Structure 1
Amino acid sequence: MSAEITLFVNPAAGRGRGAHAAQPAAAALRAAGFHVRTVVGTDAADALARLRTAVRGGTGAVVAVGGDGVVSLALQALAGTLVPLGVVAVGTGNDFARSLGLPVCEPALAGRLAAEALKESRFREIDLGRAAGTWFGTVLCSGFDSRVNDRGNRMRLPAGRFKYDLAMLAELAAFRPFPYRITLDGGHALETEATLVAVGNGPSYGGGMRICADAAPDDGLFDVVVVGDCSRTTLLTVFPRVYRGTHLGHPAVTVHRAARVTLESPGLTAWADGEPVAPLPVTAECVPGAVRVLA
């Protein structure tokens, strides 16, 4: 393994925590004897291009410093390679790190653990999802939650997470179930009215919302959670239970397991790892052992 490690940093993650977190992470790697090269792009496309150049150049590992957004970019460069990924999770969501039991908002500890894993060649091979040419590590969603994301991204004010709270209220006011056609592993298509459909490679999204609570990132299958046709009142009752994962026992919720899922519904966009992927229809495929993670 090359002694040069690439520190892939989103300095704006976690309202500026990314810039500060890079320092103890780099210090831990240098103390373990590694040479650290930092990659920071002017925007997402530039950052990904720089990271891909580092991977092609033979970097020994990539340590992503930030939230799920910077991890998602790293996955686009690392999927299908033998270059391992370390995570220093300091964003607002950090669902990828949570799903693997990695430290959250503890950059010095996360840096030390990544350095130790590198020294000991300790990796965990995990699955990734792929949809419309995009790799994802946590959850691909569509329906009510993706409409909230769509609306929130169109809003210029207010800033921060509050705009998504307002977007949720606006979507609740206009709430209606969506007609879905769901095809699992190329079999018979399920046609149903649903509030949302989540395709989970990992258990959570949105900063700890355990929408696919039983999903495991190394079993070769997605957990496909369908929240059926329900009223606003039922949705408001069920939604808080998502943080504990207890919503899976509600009569309006069904869970399927599949390696390949096609979602069709007019006017909806699929989001994965907190980023827009493509308008539906979208096919997601679970790719076993697609990336190595330092753990």
Structure 2
Amino acid sequence: MHTLFLLNPTAGKTDCTRTLPQQIEAAAARAGLAPEAYTIQVTTHAGHARELANAAARQARQAGETLRIYTAGGDGTFNEALTGAYGYENTAVGCLPFGSGNDFLRTFGTKEEFLDLDAQLAGGPVSIDLMDTSLGLSATICAAGLDAQVAYGIPKFRRIPLCGGEMAYALSIVEQLCGHIGRRVEYTIDGETFAVDCLMCAVCNGRTYGGGFCAAPEAQPDDGWLDVYIIRKVSRLTIAKLLGMYKSGKHFQHGQLVKEAQPYFIYRRAKQVTLRAVDGRGPIVATADGECVPTEQVAVQLRPLAGRILLPKPAFERFAAQRQAESANSISL
């Protein structure tokens, strides 16, 4: 078995390459890994993690070797490595959360657990579903509408002097709320086609996105289903109420929308989803695992258990125990 660490120096607020290599070396020694059993590489450009992961996975398969890849960065870096390793059963990908959002891990555990190098090296691989989207492969959430528009607008405000992350986010929200609210969108969900005047929507394999918005509080990333949430177009006065409910995950409990959310939300479970704007106002802004683009249409297809990921020991043990309990319950029924 070989372990590859991919470090993104531009992710988050600080350069992880300043201290993380020394921490990795110390953790590897504690775990009994010989120096030749692991490699540390630093990414230098967008897409580099995908290239490095793909080359390493291909080489490991040719050598008949198991490969573990840990990305030190954000959801984008993790997604790149996961995409590069896609299709290689010998390879699993984990994340060390040094980015700004780190939403992927929230489905499985805490940031502290994922930052613990000893726990990471003592953990193990599990299989999860993936989403094959028109924006690329995604492990977490593909979304479109107001939330994606806000994220898409943040970079231009960050170019303003002294305008940091939270300020840029706030200014992007103000810009969107001052503009045209809502789109007429046509959805096809497992063969059912309908059009809705909507604020935004999220097709979910994981639970959170956007730096902690709990869109799908009960999503299970290995159950063979996508959780689809559509928020109807509402007045500006109602948006704050809905976003507060949506951020905290209080819109959905015990397998259904709560009473207060039912007038504003549409919920479906699905295997395949497509959506496109039909209001004549041009492309809709969409996002998958943090990457935002304007697009004419978004298509999402579930790929059951197509991803191999690494979980730190506490998260791995919880995941295994939960699946064991579910299996026992299904047998008893």
TM-score (norm 2): 0.80
Which amino acid is 1:255 matched to?
Answer: Y
- Which residue does the alignment assign to 1:163? 168
Question: Are residue 259 (structure 1) and residue 275 (structure 2) matched?
Answer: no
Q: Secondary structure at the match of 1:211?
A: coil
Contact 1:18-1:91 within 8 A present in 2 as well: no
- Which residue does the alignment assign to 2:104? 96
- Which residue does the alignment assign to 2:11? 13
- Which residue does the alignment assign to 1:72? 79
The change in CA–CA distance for 1:244 and 1:30 in structure 2 (over 3 A counts) is: same
Q: Deviations over 1:84-119 (max 9, x none)?
A: 112222322111111122x4156652x2122112xx
Q: What displacement does 1:32 show?
A: 1.7
The change in CA–CA distance for 1:32 and 1:235 in structure 2 (over 3 A counts) is: same
- Which residue does the alignment assign to 2:143? 141
Q: What displacement does 1:26 show?
A: 4.2
Contact 1:24-1:107 within 8 A present in 2 as well: no
Contact 2:3-2:39 within 8 A present in 1 as well: yes
Distance 2:25 2:80 in 1: 20
Contact 1:48-1:73 within 8 A present in 2 as well: yes
Structure 1 residue ranges without an equivalent (≥5): none
Q: What displacement does 1:144 show?
A: 0.4
Distance 1:30 1:84 in 2: 21
The change in CA–CA distance for 1:17 and 1:271 in structure 2 (over 3 A counts) is: same
Which amino acid is 1:149 matched to?
Answer: A
Contact 2:143-2:203 within 8 A present in 1 as well: yes
- Which residue does the alignment assign to 2:297? 281
After TM superposition, list the pairs within 5 Å mapping 1:241-252 onto structure 2: 241-248=245-252, 249=258, 250=261, 251-252=263-264
Question: Are residue 216 (structure 1) and residue 220 (structure 2) matched?
Answer: yes
Give the paired residue count.
286
Q: Deviations over 1:220-261 (max 9, x none)?
A: 111110000211111111112223201343120121110110
After TM superposition, list the pairs within 5 Å mapping 1:26-105 onto structure 2: 26-34=25-33, 35-58=37-60, 60-82=67-89, 83-101=91-109, 103-105=110-112
Q: Secondary structure at the match of 2:251?
A: helix
Q: What is the Cα-based RMSD across aligned positions, in Å?
A: 1.9
- Which residue does the alignment assign to 2:306? 290
Q: Secondary structure at the match of 1:233?
A: helix
Contact 1:210-1:245 within 8 A present in 2 as well: yes
Distance 1:84 1:131 in 2: 21
Which amino acid is 1:115 matched to?
Answer: L
Distance 1:211 1:179 in 2: 21
Contact 2:104-2:140 within 8 A present in 1 as well: yes
Q: Deviations over 1:62-88 (max 9, x none)?
A: 011122121111111122222011222
Q: What displacement does 1:15 show?
A: 0.7
Q: Deviations over 1:108-153 (max 9, x none)?
A: 52x2122112xxxx32100111112611111111000111122223
Question: Are residue 180 (structure 1) and residue 188 (structure 2) matched?
Answer: no
The change in CA–CA distance for 1:292 and 1:29 in structure 2 (over 3 A counts) is: farther
1:189 to 163, 187, 193: 193
The change in CA–CA distance for 1:290 and 1:25 in structure 2 (over 3 A counts) is: farther
Question: Are residue 199 (structure 1) and residue 208 (structure 2) matched?
Answer: no
- Which residue does the alignment assign to 1:150? 152
Contact 1:99-1:204 within 8 A present in 2 as well: yes
Question: Are residue 124 (structure 1) and residue 126 (structure 2) matched?
Answer: yes
Which amino acid is 1:209 matched to?
Answer: F
The change in CA–CA distance for 1:33 and 1:57 in structure 2 (over 3 A counts) is: farther
Q: What displacement does 1:41 show?
A: 1.9
